[in-house]
Chain A
């Protein structure tokens, strides 16, 4: 047990030392060209986003301020392999409270999108995308629900044109992300 703790501490210590080779100096410039992340360089690390983030209050690893600093430093590899980026609840509090109008939640979303493109997506998003592709809805709505709607006098649910959805999945490049995941 104590040995584990020692190893853990060593690993944490290692994390804190940045190697020049970990840094991609162009990353911040690439990011600031993407719509929604233009102001990433304006962050002066006040930490308001993290102090007001509902997720950060209950998670030890999700720190919006840190994600922005890592972006500025060019720690692309560390960011794209960081599971915590998926925790954002999209409440937009950080967007409203940021004194520099950095658009924190948009940058987090862009980091998620980049991860999806270059690394793959969490299983839950695979399932979700496949349900949308099959039904148009984000959930599999059971037959019993449809029947209940009828009993309750609610109008029947509108249907999606599934062939259109498939075309849009291809056109936007979502199919590619998806296929990569399936293979």
Chain B
């Protein structure tokens, strides 16, 4: 299988609310020579159903994996939640015969079978491992040396450690290094690896807002000009909800939250329009104007 061609798995959050992430990711991947093939069919990765029925989560994820197996292509995911689910289920079904047989029993109802022939990657794995830092560096036309940024890598792309086995969940460096390639400085801040809290927002809206407020506070404290994310669900918490957080806690953050491909695109000298920067709720035009 060629390593520069992937089946793109969008998930639900991106088409629902965060297409700026998709737009910018497609643009920069194209520039890096990564070919994306659309999923022929699709259903939710399964993650949101795990609390009520684990078997259904496994089966929904497995169905998506089967669709990729039929295409004989590895999956590339933009969302941490979808990545965590598809990758975990892919590994579990490959390694655990009992669970594989159980899930294949369900899939038999729809004429499918999990074989275990593909792998699941997140955008940052594709960038850091397959494309590589050298090649990314070559595409940087306009180094963003004047920017001081903060990263939020999110949970499911690094945890649980035993399942993901990528980067160090206690001190994740991949996104930091990807930010550094653009020329920008990535700052350390308190509780950098803390969860955004968004999965809890379906049952409790208060706790995630408190968590996000705390993180924005720590980011402001080190003087970062923007926050960089690689998950649409985390992004919603800090961008879409930022005004609400400011109102609720009587704060003023005004911290732009960019999807990593938007940042990389700026370093490749793409325009704000091309990268859908205007779709961000927290205005990033001041940040871009200094470049």
Query: Could you tell me which A residues sit within 8 Å of B by CB distance?
Result: 35-36, 54-55, 57-59, 86-93, 95-96, 109-110, 112-113, 116, 121-122, 124-125, 128-129, 132, 136-139, 141, 145, 148-149, 152, 154-155, 157-161, 164-165, 167-174, 177
Contact = CB atoms under 8 A, between A and B. Distances in A.
B55 A137 contact: no
Contacts of A129: 49, 52
B109 A167 contact: yes
A141 B211 contact: no
- Listed from nearest, the 9 A-B pairs whose CB atoms lie closest are A91-B195, A92-B159, A158-B42, A139-B16, A138-B12, A160-B43, A164-B110, A136-B43, A116-B52
Interface stretch (B56-64, B182-190, B283-291): B56-64
A161 to B, nearest CB: 6
B56 A172 contact: yes
Contacts of B38: 155, 158
Interface of A is mostly: helix
B206 interface: yes
B44 A171 contact: no
Contacts of A167: 109-110
Interface string B26-47: 1000000000001111111000
Interface stretch (B118-126, B143-151, B196-204, B218-226): B196-204
B54 A110 contact: yes
Nearest to B55: A172
Given A125-B51, A177-B53, A137 B15 contact: yes
B23 interface: yes
B140 interface: no
Given A138-B12, A139-B16, 12 more contacts: A58-B207, A89-B195, A90-B50, A110-B54, A112-B52, A129-B49, A132-B49, A138-B44, A145-B19, A158-B38, A160-B41, A161-B41
A58 B211 contact: yes
Given A35-B99, A173-B53, A177-B53, A90 B199 contact: yes
Interface of B is mostly: helix
A114 to B, nearest CB: 10
Most buried by A among B12, B16, B52, B195: B52
Contacts of A138: 12-13, 44, 48
Contacts of B99: 35
Contacts of A93: 155, 159, 195
Contact of A154 (B23, B42, B43): B23
A160 to B, nearest CB: 4
Nearest to B23: A152
A60 B255 CA distance: 30
A109 B47 CA distance: 12
26 contacts: A54-B195, A55-B197, A59-B207, A87-B204, A87-B207, A88-B51, A88-B200, A89-B155, A89-B197, A93-B159, A96-B160, A112-B51, A112-B52, A128-B48, A128-B49, A132-B48, A141-B15, A154-B19, A154-B23, A158-B42, A160-B42, A168-B110, A171-B105, A172-B59, A173-B53, A173-B55
B41 A89 contact: no
B51 A113 contact: yes
B192 interface: no
Given A86-B51, A89-B199, A113-B53, A168 B109 contact: yes
A15 to B, nearest CB: 21
B10 interface: yes
A164 B56 CA distance: 13
A171 B55 CA distance: 9
B269 interface: no
Contacts of B194: 54
A54 B156 CA distance: 15
B36 to A, nearest CB: 9
A132 to B, nearest CB: 5
